[in-house]
Structure 1
Amino acid sequence: MHVGILGPVEAHSPDGKIAVGGPRPRTLLALLAIRVGEIVQLDRLVDELYGSEPPSDAANALQGQVSRLRRALGDATLIEFHPAGYRLALPASQVDAHRFVVLSAEGRQALEQGDPQAAESLLSEALRLWRGPALADVALPDHATRLEQQRSAATGSLVAARIRLGRADVAEVQDLVRRNPLDERLRGYLMQALNQQGRQAEALQAFEDARALLADELGTDPSPELRAVHLQVLRGQTHRELPAQLTKFVGRQAELARIASLSSRLITLTGPGGAGKTRLALQAAGPGAIFVDLAPAKDVAAATLQALGLKETVLEPEERLTLALRERDALLILDNCEHLVVQAARLAQHLLSTCPSLRILATSREALGITGETLCPVPPLDPEQSVALFADRARLVNAAFVRDQHTVDICRELDGLPLAIELAAARTRTLTTEEIADRLNDRFRLLTKGNRAAAPRHQTLRAVVEWSWDLLTEDERDLAACLATFSGGATLEAVEEVCRHDLETLDALVDKSLVEAVDGRYRMLETIREFCSQHKRVDAAHAAYFHDLARRADPELRQRDQVRWFARLTAEHANLMQAVAWTTSFEPDRALRLVSDLAWYWYVKGNRAEVRGVAQELLARVSEQSTEEYAVLLALAAPERVQDKLLELRGPIRQPFVLIAWAMLSGPPDPSAPRTSLQDEVESSEDPWIQGLIGFSNAYTAWAASGDRERAIEESRVALRRFQDLGERWGSAQVLDVLANLTEDPAEALALTDEALRVVAELGAKEELAELRARRADRLLDIDEAAAERDYLQALEQATEAGLSATRALANTGLAKIAQRRGDPARAELLLREAQRELGFGWMHAAAKQQVNEVLEELLRTRGA
């Protein structure tokens, strides 16, 4: 049973739509659905059902309405009677308004966490639940207004996500502005959307319109945020996603001016830990930069691919990055290079030598040490800036703070290091500056007389963190040490499960600035985390928790809630990688199972290159075995060996990634090849996802062998229904593409391709989008040549961004066909020669090479004639 109130009030059973009845039964159903799962008091139901003129026997009248509604629904147990009122006995997820609230909240969280792709998918799914105005056919204006406000907020967040992705619809934003003319946030979105489309003059006029309206209606000037967008437009900037900053940037004018004056393509900000290198880099870069956080990373190239949203192909990650960046005028920020300095240096040199318009801004405690590097030291803040920073941060926790001589003394004792100053300023909530100064003097006396050759962090920051540690209770210290085990922050659920401490203790750590709480996650500054982790580690419990999460998530990634689960695993990516690394070293048998549970997540999100190194380490630690977990490990660590191992498997298959690995490495199945026992096991599987995968694969193979198109189409549609019943987007897109190949109706082929593009877009799979766009152009070639050309060019752009050389080659082949038709054989040959150069090894490249060569041979034959 599903109830809908986001539009006219509706109820649906498995058999179809239910005739609920007249206005009062519909109103009663809506009132119960709004508070689904809760007992709604009798007097509240009477008030909202009958208004100011209830019948004389309101209780009996209400009971009569309930009886009529129960009969309409066909199941009396759905509406429970309790002494206090009535309750709709349905899960909240089966009422569209509650589903909308959950999805929109998750979408906003993804947006705030820096994942606009997931945010767009979640918010789009939420807004698709609406069928019209809320509660359109019942008189519940207060509830309708509240729901419409939530809809408006979700729509605004969706626009924000699309702005960050660079694909906002200007007309849609203009309509929102017309409906909410005084909303400065929407005005800013409109300016950004216009600017992203190259309509700078219109964006500037939109600001002037907003300025005039605010002055006339409210007597105010535009907000600082709207003025900042105006400045971006004036400078010709477009918005790109960078880590959001929660506090004001203070000082560093000299360093900012020096960075701006340098013409070097590689600038490295150097300085001690806590000097503010990352914050300075973000301030100097401004919007448009590509930010790569290397703090939790083990592979610089893989982390950079992830920052660009790319998956690996047969190309090495460095070459993949070259293909994606060589034609872009971009600034790449490589942050926290010190623990991967050799890797960072090699990648920087490679990219700078192959991407002529690329610039790199690195942060590290030491220079990268390559030719052309310009060093920009980040020294401690000068006394004036130090005091300004202390005062700004102190007022965040103590609005009455006033700077005094003790403030100057504290900043001097802390050597002007920003992190140390911020930690000290946070204490003004409970201590006077005199008390802080006295404590710092006590702590630093010993350290300043210690080893002068020690790292700067250990000379100053360690003392500050140790002092903060001394202020904690025993429970707070235990929890802080436990939290330090998490490399990617932690949710409240993870803290409670792994650390076994209550929320009160966690809140105390947040209050004392040792832990930062943002968007439902708890994080430590890296310096604090490093200090705390020396006191206690809970790696085994951490690994067990994240293994359980991966095990629970894996089947969900192939079902209706897959977008939400992909977002959850993405948020925990650093912790999952930490769990893989630790179990590889200490519990290799668990590591083998964990790698198998994460394989599908890695495949869809494109993280396999990042895990190749740890997979190879695990391969060296476990004994060879004829299991699907071992086959998955081989697919990641030694793909050249996996085919023989797959032949040893007998099934049943529990991890569907085994089948994907089989297809990736073997190519399309040969119908004339001898059958294997694994094929028989797989085809008898009761897993609906595997049934869908095998169904359309067998259908297409049978059609290629026998030419029975009708049978292939019917079997593919059965497979499509399996995937759609699961709500699985990736599988649906694969079958839709096969059906587009099978149909003989060009219009149907285009419609199927468009549907495949839509569902793949919900997953944010850039590679599949590029490949499908190229095939859409193929299907348009004989229908609308100009439209086909536009699609080929778009596919070429997407494939370049994703680093897909085979797809680039096929797009250039399509453009060559168009050039030949237009009487330009020289350009056609140039494009085909370029396509030949793109192709390398692997069955996908071999298939593309065959197409390229056929078109080239035909062109040369035609020219020769």
Structure 2
Amino acid sequence: MPRLTLNLLGPFQARLDDGPEIAFPTDKACGLLAYLAVEAAHAQRREYLAALLWPDQPENRARHNLRQALSSLRQLLGDTDESPRPFLLVERETVQFNPASDFSLDVAEFVALTEALRQHRHQAPERCLPCIRRFQRLAALYHGEFLLEPLAADSELFEEWALLKREWLRRLASEAFAALGNYHERRGELALARDAAQRLVDLEPWREEAHRQLMRLLAAEGKRSAALAQYETCRRILETEFGAQPAAETQRLFVRIRAGDAGSEGPPGRPRGELLSVPPLPRSPAPFVGRETERAELAEMLANPDCRLITLVGPGGIGKSRLALQVAEEQRGLFADGVAFISLASVTHAELVATLIAETLRLPEAAHITARRLLDQLRDKELLLVLDNFEHVLDCCGLLSDLLRAGRHLKVLVTSQEKLRLQEEWLYPLQGLSYPADVASIGGPPEAYDALALFQQRAEQVQRHFSLSADVLSDVIRICRLVEGLPLGIELAAAAVGEQPCAAIAGALERTFDALESSLRDVFGRHRSLRAVFEYAWGLLTAAERDSFAALAVFAGSFEAEAAWAVAGVNRATLTALAAKSLLAFDGGRYSWHEATRQYAWEQLLASARVEQLRDRHGAFFAARVRDGAALLEGPSAQAALSALESDRADIQAAWSWAVSQRQIALLAEMVEGLRKFYRRRGPVVEGLRLLEQALALPPAALAPDFEARMRAAEVQLLGLQLRFDEGVESATRLIALGEGLGAPLVQAEGYLLEGQTLQQQGKFEAAQQAVESGLERLDALQTTEGEHRRLTANLLRELGNIALRRGDLAMAEAHYAAALELFRALEDAGGECAVLNNLGNVAFDRGEYVAAQAHLTAALALYRKLGNLPGEAKALNNLANVAADQRDYGVALQYYREALQIHQALENLPAQSAVLNNLGALYWELGLYAEARETYQQALAIFRECGNRQAEGETLANLSLVELQTGDLQAALRLAQEATAASQESGDVSNLANACTYLGKIHAALGQVAEAERGYRQALALRQELPHPGRLLELQVELAALTLRRGKSVQALADIAPVLVALENDEALEGAEEPYRVFWLCYEILRANADPRATPLLARARRQLLAQAARIPDAGLRRAFLENVPAHRQIMHDV
């Protein structure tokens, strides 16, 4: 019997095998066949079918028509009484489409797919690759609506049946198109996403989110006019069909696209938390071959909600990494926060895994991240982590368990040569690629076997016209069998096709394998197969190529041709020859190789007498690279220098470790300054500290004191970045002792400077000042003014200025800064000059002198940028943001804060980040974004507490108390303000103590505790007399007057605000005030309580100023929050 293909989605089509479309005599014959096929699960009574299709005919006539239609159908379909599996089972009383016949029905497949979607175990179908494949098949099947052309127009019953099926199938198709549109948009496959969205709009023109998606996609493709036209289409349809306008979300998108913002809202995703910035997956060097079964099985496992840790386990060369990368690529778009591929091949210590994960995911503070903080940052992320080569770091299996427990939406795919032996682990042992037993057993094209397909792909790269023809097929199968389908073995063997015929390759492998069989009986079989391939590839090399291949094993990571020549004496021609033999890979200017290949080359190198010579050359080469890179890290080429050192990280570590083992102090001394700068900026800091510890662990006799001093100085700075301040002080003390032992006051002074900086970061100002003054004393005792002496003096003076500034002594801070600036300018030290300009900007800011502050900070920013000094640039941006925020220029302030935070995060400077976070929290508070303010303050507070900085802790606690006050949690606000008061008293921070007392007053007032509120305000007022920002004094006067009004003394309250009203005639009177519009509102309430005619004009003036200030906020959402969320602003805007 032929196969019947029946398509009912779109134009009605029926054909037998590959024959022409069947021409049916009538539409109702088509309708009868369609109905029977769709309802094939049940036999249909003849009288029902007759009434269904011929409702207006008498029963006899209708039955006659049914018999004729059935006869015609049987004839067209080739059914006879002798047919073993006829398509139609025609009985005396019933008719049924035979479900056991050989047929395909698009509707049946469509329904089966939707049922599979419903029953499949997953978190959500749109996040499940097997279900995405089902959606893709659904979309391919849906050529149009079900039975769109009427086949029985005179039968209301038949048309109702068709309509119900049509609507049901349309809904299922719509779900498929929506899922596919979102999936392809998340993957950046814009054309495919647009096709799915367009099909959805065609099916359901009123579906507004589909129109939005088309607008986004067209804009992202640069088709702005088409995107705007799509909005107009949507608007017209909604108005015509429903008399409605597009939703606010659609209108916002329209405005953004019109303004030139190509789809900033991005693809749809979960609203929870902030999305990660996951980098693109690594590029594959060649198209992936085969493993269809493995990929499908892994996709099913990843879709299973219970399966959250999969280990791809197998020996080296089996293809674990390539398969994991391919699976990662196929999962892209299914996880809201992305898919990250992290190679652990170069990680030497398990504790660095958390840092590497954080760096790859571009998390803030990556270089300093602890396991606990990593768990916190990934807790709500929907992410697939692919961890490659995990066998190097099996000691950190506990981190995986902790990650999976903390993050409910996190999944991990691991490749390893060993099991992890974790309770959460799902093992997937990987075998070799499939190959046939012999030529006779091949039932189809040879390329259907993965091993043969891979061999052909690689062989074509060296012999363009290679094919799996009959004359080579047997030998290729023999090669694949000898290497047991091992991909690395197949690639190496295929690379030799350009030099030897396949028969010779197979014969050589057999001979090598036999030799290994007898000499390596204790080696696992597949490892023995790989060894045979390496032995064979080694045998094909010339003597010069063998020497070169072995010498290159001295490199710990990837390398450039320049390094290969300088270290190993290998020229470009030899590198190219080795790459042609698949022993090396070349990508992006650097050469690399499989770790198994490198291990074999290392064995050959160890067998020679060249190891020490090559390692000495390797160490000297990379020491020079670090030295030269360090010289560039302070200038405009800093980022390029950092990237170059990052590429050589593994070899830099190897060079340092070799120099330590050989006690090559001169080489270490050449590297230490560059390593300090590199790890300060790029991290992970723990790795830099480990390298320093290796050298510091050498016997004292091996360490030159001046070299140890340089390492101690580097150690103090790196410890500070890890917030390990107590250890930093201890190391600085050792540096001071070293300077004393050397009779080197300059070294002692540097030690005191570093000690003072460390203590100042902890808020220990008294001890910090003593340390810095001790450093100046050492320098004063010297009868010299040479450059380094003056530079150290300038830095010590600047640090005294920092301490005075933190303690609120602005005059003393300015004096120290001025002295430091004079020295830096005399030295033509632009770096020191811009640092002091930045500090002077802070002094002017704290005095409320905004013009002077902006001038200093703008000059500092220009100098920092000229020097390529990113940390300094971020500091200046942060301080300029403070000035803008105090002047209520919120849009500019927000931009500066975000730029500063981005730089500090890229540099992984934790203390600097905390300062920006605190300031950013204050800005969010002023804008009325209280949830954002609370979260940002809490991030800053965690850092301040970790580093023991009580001064900054007190400031942030006070800020948090204001947030809780505004959001109504008065008890939490009171507790925080009391903690802030205690911390500020302990640290001696008068300015913040005044703030904390003010906030205590506000909180007590909100609690109805008037006497306690007055006490807080008067304490703050007393403290404020000696502090800048007169606007804060006006605020306190008005708050006290408001308390008087609450006591029923309205006339006294009016008298109390008389000087405030006079001051308000000056537009600059409230500069530096924390809540200037609360001053206006409270004055208005007091005036209104006294029926004073000045009340209404004052309110109108406040409203005008408030609206003018809001107009300077570019973002409409921020502007709305500013006007509606802040209580005083809301009261001013809505009081009539």
Output the TM-score relative to the length of structure 1. Answer: 0.64
CA distance, structure 1, for counterparts of residue 994 and residue 294 of structure 2: 54
Partner of 1:732: 873
* Structure 2 portions without partners, runs of 5+: 1-184, 197-207, 227-265, 333-337, 436-448, 606-610, 720-726, 818-835, 842-855, 1010-1136
* Contact 1:773–1:794, Cα closer than 8 Å, also in 2: no
Aligned with 1:821 (options 966, 971, 975) = 966
1:701-740 mapped onto 2 (5 Å cutoff): 701-703=803-805, 704=807, 706-708=809-811, 715=840, 717=856, 723-737=864-878
Structure 1 residues 321 and 431: alpha-carbon distance in aligned structure 2, compared to 1, 3 A threshold: same
Q: Indicate the percent of aligned positions where both proteins have the same amino acid.
A: 25
User: SS at the partner of 2:604?
Assistant: coil
CA distance, structure 2, for counterparts of residue 408 and residue 803 of structure 1: 66
Partner of 1:327: 380
Partner of 1:644: 733
CA distance, structure 2, for counterparts of residue 785 and residue 791 of structure 1: 9
* Contact 1:639–1:665, Cα closer than 8 Å, also in 2: no
1:603 aligns with 2:675: no
Amino acid at match of 1:629: R
Partner of 1:295: 345
User: SS at the partner of 1:376?
Assistant: strand
Partner of 1:306: 356
1:41-440 mapped onto 2 (5 Å cutoff): 202-203=212-213, 240-262=279-301, 263-285=306-328, 286-287=331-332, 288-309=338-359, 317-341=370-394, 343-383=395-435, 384-403=449-468, 404-440=473-509
CA distance, structure 1, for counterparts of residue 943 and residue 404 of structure 2: 17
Structure 1 residues 565 and 760: alpha-carbon distance in aligned structure 2, compared to 1, 3 A threshold: farther
CA distance, structure 1, for counterparts of residue 593 and residue 970 of structure 2: 62
Q: Residue by residue, what CA displacement relative to the aligned partner does 1:264-311 show, whole Å, maximum 9, x if unpaired?
A: 222111111111111222222333223222111112332332342257
Aligned with 1:676 (options 730, 755, 774) = 774
Q: Residue by residue, what CA displacement relative to the aligned partner does 1:534-572 show, whole Å, maximum 9, x if unpaired?
A: 222322211211111111111321222111111111111
Structure 1 residues 546 and 211: alpha-carbon distance in aligned structure 2, compared to 1, 3 A threshold: closer
CA distance, structure 1, for counterparts of residue 373 and residue 403 of structure 2: 10
Task: Give the C-alpha shift of residue 334 in structure 1.
Answer: 2.2
CA distance, structure 2, for counterparts of residue 290 and residue 802 of structure 1: 31
Amino acid at match of 1:780: L
Structure 1 residues 727 and 613: alpha-carbon distance in aligned structure 2, compared to 1, 3 A threshold: closer
Partner of 1:104: none
Aligned residue pairs, count:
652
Structure 1 residues 697 and 440: alpha-carbon distance in aligned structure 2, compared to 1, 3 A threshold: same
1:726-805 mapped onto 2 (5 Å cutoff): 726-737=867-878, 746=887, 754-755=895-896, 757-758=898-899, 761=902, 764-765=906-907, 770-771=913-914, 773-780=916-923, 783-786=926-929, 790=932
CA distance, structure 2, for counterparts of residue 405 and residue 854 of structure 1: 89
Partner of 1:453: 522
* Contact 1:770–1:795, Cα closer than 8 Å, also in 2: no
* Contact 2:749–2:778, Cα closer than 8 Å, also in 1: no
Task: Give the C-alpha shift of residue 499 in structure 1.
Answer: 1.6
Deviates more, 1:755-764 or 1:508-517: 755-764
* Contact 2:748–2:778, Cα closer than 8 Å, also in 1: no
User: SS at the partner of 1:269?
Assistant: strand
Task: Give the C-alpha shift of residue 400 in structure 1.
Answer: 0.8
Structure 1 residues 504 and 691: alpha-carbon distance in aligned structure 2, compared to 1, 3 A threshold: farther
Task: Give the C-alpha shift of residue 723 in structure 1.
Answer: 3.5
CA distance, structure 1, for counterparts of residue 568 and residue 466 of structure 2: 35
Task: Give the C-alpha shift of residue 378 in structure 1.
Answer: 0.7
Deviates more, 1:199-208 or 1:380-389: 199-208
User: SS at the partner of 1:360?
Assistant: strand
User: SS at the partner of 1:292?
Assistant: strand
1:546 aligns with 2:622: yes
Structure 1 residues 253 and 795: alpha-carbon distance in aligned structure 2, compared to 1, 3 A threshold: farther
Q: Residue by residue, what CA displacement relative to the aligned partner does 1:696-755 show, whole Å, maximum 9, x if unpaired?
A: 544433444632276668545476665344231212323454566689953589857844
Structure 1 residues 773 and 672: alpha-carbon distance in aligned structure 2, compared to 1, 3 A threshold: closer
* Contact 1:272–1:457, Cα closer than 8 Å, also in 2: yes
CA distance, structure 2, for counterparts of residue 854 and residue 472 of structure 1: 81
User: SS at the partner of 2:341?
Assistant: strand
Structure 1 residues 781 and 443: alpha-carbon distance in aligned structure 2, compared to 1, 3 A threshold: closer
CA distance, structure 2, for counterparts of residue 736 and residue 211 of structure 1: 34
Task: Give the C-alpha shift of residue 612 in structure 1.
Answer: 3.8
Amino acid at match of 1:631: R
* Contact 2:455–2:490, Cα closer than 8 Å, also in 1: yes
Q: Residue by residue, what CA displacement relative to the aligned partner does 1:86-137 show, whole Å, maximum 9, x if unpaired?
A: xxxxxxxxxxxxxxxxxxxxxxxxxxxxxxxxxxxxxxxxxxxxxxxxxxxx
Structure 1 residues 203 and 684: alpha-carbon distance in aligned structure 2, compared to 1, 3 A threshold: farther
CA distance, structure 2, for counterparts of residue 252 and residue 803 of structure 1: 51
Q: Residue by residue, what CA displacement relative to the aligned partner does 1:176-226 show, whole Å, maximum 9, x if unpaired?
A: xxxxxxxx999799999xxxxx9886555666899999xx9xxxxxxxxxx
**Larger Rg: 1 or 2?**
2
Structure 1 residues 239 and 665: alpha-carbon distance in aligned structure 2, compared to 1, 3 A threshold: same
CA distance, structure 2, for counterparts of residue 355 and residue 553 of structure 1: 40
Aligned with 1:576 (options 652, 675, 678) = 652
Task: Give the C-alpha shift of residue 322 in structure 1.
Answer: 1.6
Partner of 1:220: none
* Contact 2:901–2:917, Cα closer than 8 Å, also in 1: no
RMSD, matched Cα: 5.0
1:629 aligns with 2:722: no
User: SS at the partner of 1:733?
Assistant: helix
* Structure 1 portions without partners, runs of 5+: 1-173, 175-183, 193-197, 217-231
Aligned with 2:540 (options 437, 458, 471) = 471
Task: Give the C-alpha shift of residue 245 in structure 1.
Answer: 0.9
* Contact 1:685–1:691, Cα closer than 8 Å, also in 2: no
Deviates more, 1:791-800 or 1:394-403: 791-800
Structure 1 residues 673 and 550: alpha-carbon distance in aligned structure 2, compared to 1, 3 A threshold: same
Partner of 1:594: 671
Amino acid at match of 1:401: F
Deviates more, 1:528-537 or 1:770-779: 770-779
User: SS at the partner of 1:621?
Assistant: coil
User: SS at the partner of 2:311?
Assistant: strand
Partner of 2:118: none
Task: Give the C-alpha shift of residue 402 in structure 1.
Answer: 0.7
CA distance, structure 1, for counterparts of residue 483 and residue 944 of structure 2: 46
Structure 1 residues 556 and 335: alpha-carbon distance in aligned structure 2, compared to 1, 3 A threshold: same
Task: Give the C-alpha shift of residue 243 in structure 1.
Answer: 1.7
Amino acid at match of 1:619: L
Output the TM-score relative to the length of structure 2. Answer: 0.50
Task: Give the C-alpha shift of residue 528 in structure 1.
Answer: 1.1
Structure 1 residues 607 and 429: alpha-carbon distance in aligned structure 2, compared to 1, 3 A threshold: same
Task: Give the C-alpha shift of residue 377 in structure 1.
Answer: 0.4
Partner of 1:163: none
CA distance, structure 1, for counterparts of residue 221 and residue 696 of structure 2: 63
CA distance, structure 2, for counterparts of residue 583 and residue 549 of structure 1: 15
CA distance, structure 2, for counterparts of residue 289 and residue 375 of structure 1: 20
